[in-house]
Amino acid sequence: MSSGFRLLTTPLLLWSFLSLSLFSSASIINHAAGSRLLLRAVNSGGDQPDFALDLNATNFDAVLKDTPATFAIVEFFAHWCPACRNYKPQYEKVARLFNGANAVHPGIILMTRVDCANKINTNLCDKFSISHYPTLFWGPPSKFVGGSWNGKDEKSKIVSIEDGRTSDRLLKWINTQLGSSYKLEDEKYENDELFQSNFSDPGQIARAVYDVEEATSLAFDIILENKMIKQETRATLIKFMQLMTAHHPSRRCRRGSADILVNFDDLYPSNILSPSEKNNTQHGGLTKFEICGKEVPRGYWMFCRGSKNGTRGFSCGLWVLLHSLSVRVENEESQMAFTSICDFIHKFFACEECSQHFYNMCSRVSTPFTTTRDFVLWLWTAHNEVNERLKSTEALYSTGDPKFPKSIWPSRHLCPECYTTARDGDWDREEVYKFLGRYYGQMLVSLYMEKEKSLFGQAQMKIRAVSDDLIQSTNALVVPVGAAVGIAVASCLFGALACFWRSQQKNRKYFHKPQLLKIV
């Protein structure tokens, strides 16, 4: 076969190989998705539950890829090893602080273990050069995905934990790495540095993307549990889900919302008449769908975590969702987004007094929004109005969060340029708009972006390795002409179809035309 034809077929082969690899990886992740449920309920039965998460070769990459934790610890052990069995209670004491829905310090470290005595994990343990048990590694979760360790790469973000043979020593090692002061005796809502940094550190908003997923999932659980989907509320829910499908900051929530919308007419037909039909539909409808994927809800809050039970949490996550939607809509969508959010809160937010107050604020708007800027600033003003109202009520009944008192936002520390004078309330609205766009836009999804960048870099390295193998091979791979042409044609058709579908979705982003909000 001529060298020219080899040059033609090699890119096609690479494309085919990459497509098959991605399809295979997606299948593995979907197969392993159920294992991620353990993040929020780790062996809940029994008197002494396991808090560390057991991983194996089939779910190792998937779990570490999707965890919201900033760092991960992986313990490689063998179930037959006496030292490993003795070490397990020590490891569990530390894992109790960080893993599961009732974690003392959730979302910071994911503590996992891999049994190298299980044959399915042989290759995985070899990749990390495991020569003795137990062996502990520390690093960002994304660095473990498809990664390896041989102890020679000084630039590796994966670090071997050499001094963690007891729970005290392991926690001391963690505190040294994080500059924290966690203790084995810590209880939930106490001694948590996270509470001291939420307001002062603008980067904390990156953790809220997981709270937005949590709030989205919880909101739809409430809707289903209270059977709130009725003939008169059906259109409102569809409009809000269309907004989320287009602009939710979480890709998996966008995907889940789209999946529900595709099936919505079958699940909740518009011609529901009899109460019996309605009840049957309510019970068998959306319950089989996970709007933000199988791993959500996780059972805990990160950015929106209160310093005591019953504070922040869902309400905080919902506000972040609304702000993140507002900064993502286009000018021509601003009025539709406004009416969708107002109607959704009015009809689906179960706190009657809160929903009515919010809708009253909506009703004071007499002129339709024509720009994203005006809509973003209105929602910001509304949020501060709510804070002012709740501040006095919480002070009267002592129901507020002492570490997160209601206040006018953003603070001078977060956005000094937002203030025109030394007096609170003198705003530079243009600077406020820019800040909100950054804060709820790029900063909110920065953790997602960092993970995707890391994983993309790893994928690129694998592709280059495959390409080098093909080019350097002395035995050139021969592909029939028909197969090569077929791959090329399929590639072109797929690209054309994707472009067509994208244009159609953009033109049909909303089924309902914008309307002025009815004054109540």
Tokens standing for 320?
């972040």
Q: Is 316 a catalytic residue?
A: no
Closest to 309 (Cα-Cα) out of 183, 205, 187: 187
Per 3-state DSSP, what percentage of the chain is helix, strand, and coil (rounded to 5)? Answer: 55, 5, 35
How far apart CA 165 and CA 91 sit, in angstroms, is: 9
Q: Is 84 a catalytic residue?
A: yes
Quickly count: other Cβ atoms within 10 Å of residue 107's Cβ: 21
Measured CA distances, 197 to 208, 493, 500 (Å): 13, 51, 46
Of 84, 116, 316, 418, which one is the catalytic site residue?
Answer: 84
Tokens standing for 19?
């497509």
What three-state secondary structure class fits 519?
coil
Closest to 317 (Cα-Cα) out of 431, 216, 434, 418: 216
Radius of gyration of the chain (CA): 26
How far apart CA 297 and CA 304 sit, in angstroms, is: 14
Task: Report whether 499 contacts 228 (CB < 8 A).
Answer: no
Closest to 217 (Cα-Cα) out of 282, 279, 289, 283: 289
- Please, what is the angle between helix 3-32 and helix 481-507, to 10°? 50
Answer left, alpha or beta for residue 375, where phi above 0 means left and psi between -120 and 50 means alpha: alpha
How far apart CA 291 and CA 65 sit, in angstroms, is: 19
Residues annotated catalytic, as ranges: 81, 84
